[in-house]
Amino acid sequence: MALNEEQTAVANSVDSHNLVIALPGSGKTHTMISFIANLVKKPQAKILGLTFTNAAAVEMKARVGKSIKGEDRKRIFISTFHSIIIQMVKKHPELAGRERLIGPAENRYNYFIFKSMCSSYNTNCEPRDESVKPFTEKEQKGLYAMTLNIVKNRLLSLNAEYCAESKRFKSVMGFDYFDFYCDKMQELNVWPLDLMCNVVTKMLIAGKIEPINCTALVVDEFQDTDDTQYQWIKAHGKNGTLITVVGDDDQAIYSWRNSLGMEGVERFKKDFNPNYYTLSMCYRCPPEILLSAEQVVIQNSNRVPKSMNTLDTSGDIYLLATTDEMNELSYMLSGMRKHHLESRAILTRTNQQLDEIEAFLKIENIPYKRLNGTPIWQNENLLFWVHLLYTVVEARDSKYLKSILVELHEDQHVILDIIAKSKGVGFTHIDDDEMSWSDVTVALHEQCRLSGNKGGERNDIEVEKLLNILHDEFQPIVSKPKAEFFDTFKKIVLGMKHQLILRITGIIELSEMRQIKELDDDVVILTTFHGAKGLEWDVVWIAGANEDKLPLINKKIDPSTINYEEERRLLYVAMTRAKLSLYISWYSIAEPSNFLLEAFPEQMAEVIETSRKNEEAKQEQEEVDLDGAA
């Protein structure tokens, strides 16, 4: 496919830093492949392309492989940000020895460190500064959430100012929780990916670790970078690498994970004085849909002004006021059946909204696929019990022992001592220490000793006996969600065949498999606005566009913290997924999102008035029918 004029200008800009703002469906990936193909023509070129998701990296690699062959292809490396950091770590033995924490394991260690802090310090203490008040009862109840916010704020920004929670914690407790967290992670010789990225980037800037050997760095979805990632990119640019960043400030929807959005665009302009390009032609959305989406997002003040152009194709947008949730679901059902020959998606602001729609589609026997949600094989409650069972029946292998002891709330010093002594020999080959070990660790050690030879067990009766023992010994100790999940775990294990160890390792292998979400045009896709980013369908139905969902408002959210501009951007992202037809519905006629009212004042007034009249006429007819029946 030939490049248009704007795309050609980007593809040829191979001798400078570049900032590219790309509309949804503007051929961004096609343009960047052409750009990389021009870069690699230079004999000494070494190109690194960075994406933010594994799926995007897989797609980019495939498309590069189709366009660029032979020796040139060998000088192009496509990676996610996290993966490239891991590659940097592997080159440094002092870093490579630390165990990486992902998903549930990170949550366990976060809670373990928090409990360690609580046991080491009195959180009910009187602050040394008399002007500072101790934690309130409400703060005490939310103290764990406070520490999580402190860690997140500091991890995703190298030069983060103390957030309100961090200042409050330090004023009461007299020490910095983030420093405590980092020290504990180092003592335990583990780190989550965000901490790894933070540490490696600081070392990179300080000259203690070498940058990636590349002449050009191409960053996709640049609006999603956080401060740590930006500092990593900047360090490479200052080292002589040519930087090209591609993104769209109107699609910056991850401020909750500290992505920079518009701030990143401004910082890149200031730091690198790049050539600036816009890909303003949208090949996805027809004029009716793109211009409507534009009317939503231009209400924001903090954005890059840009033209939005599209091909002269036909499309439709429908604004639907419904009386209640069931009425909205009924309209939605009719719409999905009407468009059964086209690709279809239902998008909502929250997963809770999707739960209700999913149940309705199930009842109505409409085939669907939900993109959001964690597969059961990656459920952290299942993985705890699986890892515990593995530790018991494979007692010589202690790879899950540390995380199990963390979950069982053993003392940190005891954990480190056990791990050091059991390395290479296994847990059962060290003597127990009832004086320093907790009762539950003693019980685990004894169970490993008694059942360490049961990995080859095939008899379900014997397997069930072992599972029941684990239940009786450990269920009272673990968190409520894990305790309640035990029955499901037991059914899964007993539902499998073969030796017990093969059942266990089979579950572990399933948990580690990368989930490929294949989209099927024959079913209705259900996902959230966030989950829809980067995808497209012929027909998109945005459901529940009510005033309490856009922007999202509930009891857990402080109204003063709502990012109204980002909430508008979320609606913009959802609207620009549609290629042919876009439906936007809300229930309770008088309660549509204010974003719709401000973007389409005349149309919304007409839709609401017409809906009211129809509802009044319907009620009058019902009264006439009742009078006639009487």
Q: What is the pLDDT of residues 329-346, one digit of tens each?
A: 999 999 999 999 999 999
Asked if 20 and 218 count as a contact pair (C-beta separation under 8 A), the reply is: no
Burial class (CB in 10 A: 0-12, 13-18, 19+), 314: exposed
Say yes or no to pLDDT of 148 above 70: yes
Q: Is 424 annotated as a binding residue?
A: no
- CA proximity to 226, closest of 190, 267, 186: 267
Q: Is 131 annotated as a binding residue?
A: no
Name the token pair of 368. Answer: 């669907």
Say yes or no to pLDDT of 310 above 70: yes
The amino acid sitting at 274 is: P
- Residue in the structure block whose two tokens are 């957030």: 163
Distance CA 273, CA 257 (A): 27
Q: Is 27 annotated as a binding residue?
A: yes
Residue 627: what pLDDT? 61
Asked if 310 and 575 count as a contact pair (C-beta separation under 8 A), the reply is: no
Say yes or no to pLDDT of 372 above 70: no
State the first-to-last Cα distance of the chain, in angstroms, to the nearest integer. Answer: 71
Residue 557: what pLDDT? 66
Tell me the pLDDT tens digit for each residue of 30-54.
999 999 999 999 999 999 999 988 8
- CA proximity to 21, closest of 234, 231, 251, 225: 251
- CA proximity to 146, closest of 108, 173, 126: 173
Residue 3: what pLDDT? 95
List the beta bridge partners of residue 322.
587
Contacts of 460 (CB under 8 A, 6+ apart): 494
Asked if 303 and 297 count as a contact pair (C-beta separation under 8 A), the reply is: yes
Asked if 221 and 261 count as a contact pair (C-beta separation under 8 A), the reply is: no
Mean pLDDT confidence for 113-125: 92
Per-residue confidence at 628, pLDDT binned at 50, 70, 90? low
Distance CA 218, CA 10 (A): 12
The SS3 assignment for 118 reads helix
Asked if 85 and 235 count as a contact pair (C-beta separation under 8 A), the reply is: no
Name the token pair of 40. Answer: 């690699």
Q: Is 29 annotated as a binding residue?
A: yes
Say yes or no to pLDDT of 201 above 90: yes
Residue 625: what pLDDT? 63
Asked if 599 and 569 count as a contact pair (C-beta separation under 8 A), the reply is: no
Q: Please give the mean pLDDT across all residues of the chain.
A: 90
Asked if 17 and 273 count as a contact pair (C-beta separation under 8 A), the reply is: yes
User: Of 248-252, 274-278, 439-443, 614-618, which range is least confident?
Assistant: 614-618
Say yes or no to pLDDT of 517 above 60: no
Say yes or no to pLDDT of 273 above 90: yes
Say yes or no to pLDDT of 75 above 90: yes
Torsion of the alpha carbons at 528, 529, 531 and 532, rounded to the nearest 10: 120
Share of the chain above pLDDT 90, in %: 62
Domain limits, the chain? 5-90+199-283, 110-188, 309-372+523-599, 378-512
The amino acid sitting at 493 is: V
CA angle 98, 101, 105 (to 5 degrees): 135
Q: Is 25 annotated as a binding residue?
A: yes
How does DSSP classify residue 560?
A: G
Say yes or no to pLDDT of 133 above 80: yes
Tell me the pLDDT tens digit for each residue of 462-499.
999 999 999 999 988 888 888 888 988 888 888 887 88
Contacts of 31 (CB under 8 A, 6+ apart): 3, 7, 10, 11, 20, 22, 279
Tell me the pLDDT tens digit for each residue of 492-503.
888 887 889 999
Residue 160: what pLDDT? 62
The SS3 assignment for 132 reads coil
Distance CA 546, CA 552 (A): 9
Equal CATH topology for 5-90+199-283 and 309-372+523-599: yes
Say yes or no to pLDDT of 232 above 90: yes
Asked if 36 and 49 count as a contact pair (C-beta separation under 8 A), the reply is: yes
Per-residue confidence at 213, pLDDT binned at 50, 70, 90? very high
Q: Report CA 511 to chain centroid distance, whole Å.
A: 17
Name the token pair of 561. Answer: 């913290």
Say yes or no to pLDDT of 604 above 70: yes
Mean pLDDT confidence for 429-453: 89
Asked if 358 and 579 count as a contact pair (C-beta separation under 8 A), the reply is: no
Query: In this structure, what are the phi and psi dihedrals at residue 286, rounded to the nearest 5 degrees?
Result: -70, 165
Q: Is 362 annotated as a binding residue?
A: no
Phi-psi region of 281 (alpha: psi -120 to 50; beta: other; left: phi over 0): beta
Residue count of the chain, please give it. Answer: 630
3-state secondary structure 391-457: HHHCCCCCCCHHHHHHHCCCCHHHHHHHHHHHCCCCHHHCCCCCCCCCHHHHHHHHHHHHHCCCCCC
Name the token pair of 331. Answer: 């309209």
Name the token pair of 312. Answer: 């002269």
The amino acid sitting at 432 is: D
pTM of the model: 0.78
Q: Is 133 annotated as a binding residue?
A: no
The CATH number that domain 309-372+523-599 falls under is 3.40.50.300
> Which class is domain 5-90+199-283?
alpha beta
Residue 516: what pLDDT? 47
- CA proximity to 223, closest of 256, 260, 197: 260
Distance CA 190, CA 590 (A): 53
Tell me the helix, strand and coil percentages in the chain, rounded to 5: 55, 15, 35
Q: Is 374 annotated as a binding residue?
A: no
Tell me the pLDDT tens digit for each residue of 179-188.
999 999 999 9
Contacts of 5 (CB under 8 A, 6+ apart): none
Mean pLDDT confidence for 50-65: 88
Distance CA 210, CA 582 (A): 49
- CA proximity to 104, closest of 504, 387, 371, 351: 387
Mean pLDDT confidence for 98-118: 89
Query: In this structure, what are the phi and psi dihedrals at residue 278, rounded to the nearest 5 degrees?
Result: -125, 130
Other CB atoms within a 10 A radius of the CB of residue 209 amount to: 18
Sign of CA dihedral 33, 37, 42, 47: positive
Asked if 128 and 174 count as a contact pair (C-beta separation under 8 A), the reply is: yes
